[in-house]
Amino acid sequence: IVHAAHSTGVQKLLFLGSSCIYPKHADQPMREDSLLTGVLEETNEPYAIAKIAGIKLCESYNRQYGRDYRSVMPTNLYGPHDNYHPENSHVIPALLRRFHEATLRGDDEVVIWGSGKPMREFLHVDDMAAASIHVMNLDEPTYQANTQPMLSHINVGTGVDCTIRELAETIAKVTEFPGKLAFDSTKPDGTPRKLMDVSRLKALGWQASIGLEDGLRDAYRWFVDHQGEIRG
């Protein structure tokens, strides 16, 4: 896509990466300049390498051909139109569905994988869209003044994280689940913490505006309204 854009004369392009580009043991919060400073998380490595290659491809076209190809790295995204499949969805849609179904059945307990202690950052897709437009609308001198030719990507997140336990408690509130939460510590926790440093984006004049509970309520409304269209 990047090459096709260049070949057909597209001057501006936005490439979306992922927080998994950063090393497994990157300092928290993760700054843009921690890229390529350590070993990647094993299960994400192929995906992360593809995203890193995209960033470097954009930077190379910028340097060699004078293009204006920019890269943003979002944290964990959620919201309407997410994947709510019970077997292969991410943590927020998986828990929204699990708590919703438990509430309908009248269950007295919902089991969550892991200890509940890992910390994660979540960004509503509407905030992500707004941030993407903001970055693309920056004039070129401003963008270049806040980035470097070979370190040009920009983190996009809230700058705030929460434990998986706190996330589950908020989802229980949103779905009006009255029962107990149980944590299965025999299941893996994954990385202890993944928080993005968003100071570069904030310096460029943008920050997230949708709080987690409000965002979860929006995502849940969409799920309830579209259950008939969701497989699984």
Confidence of residue 195 (pLDDT cuts 50, 70, 90): very high
For residue 207, the tally of other CB atoms under 10 A from its CB is 14
Kindly report the average pLDDT of the chain as a whole number: 95
Within the chain, residue ranges assigned H as helices are: 2-7, 45-65, 91-105, 125-137, 140-145, 164-174, 199-203, 212-225
Res. 214: pLDDT tops 60: yes
Q: Name the residue among 123, 107, 106 with its Cα closest to residue 18.
A: 123
Told to judge if 143 belongs to the known catalytic residues of this protein, a careful annotator would answer no
Res. 92: pLDDT tops 80: yes
Q: What are phi and psi of 13, to 5 degrees?
A: -150, 145
For residue 170, the tally of other CB atoms under 10 A from its CB is 18
| Lookup: tokens for 166 | 């706190």
Q: What are phi and psi of 204, to 5 degrees?
A: -90, 5
CA distance 30 to 17: 14
Q: How many residues does the chain have?
A: 232
Q: What is the pLDDT at residue 232?
A: 57
Q: Would you list the domain boundaries of the chain?
A: 2-229
**Chain segment 18-59, per-residue pLDDT in tens:** 999 999 999 999 999 999 999 999 988 999 999 999 999 999
Of the candidates 47, 65, 84, 143, the residue annotated as catalytic is 47
What is the CATH superfamily name and number for domain 2-229?
Answer: NAD(P)-binding Rossmann-like Domain (3.40.50.720)
Query: Which pTM value belongs to this model?
Result: 0.94
Res. 91: pLDDT tops 90: yes
Residues 218 and 72 sit within 8 Å (Cβ to Cβ) = no
Q: Name the residue among 219, 107, 216, 223 with its Cα closest to residue 168.
A: 216
| Amino acid identity at 65 | Y
Distances 112 to 175, 195, 216 between C-alpha atoms, Å: 15, 21, 17
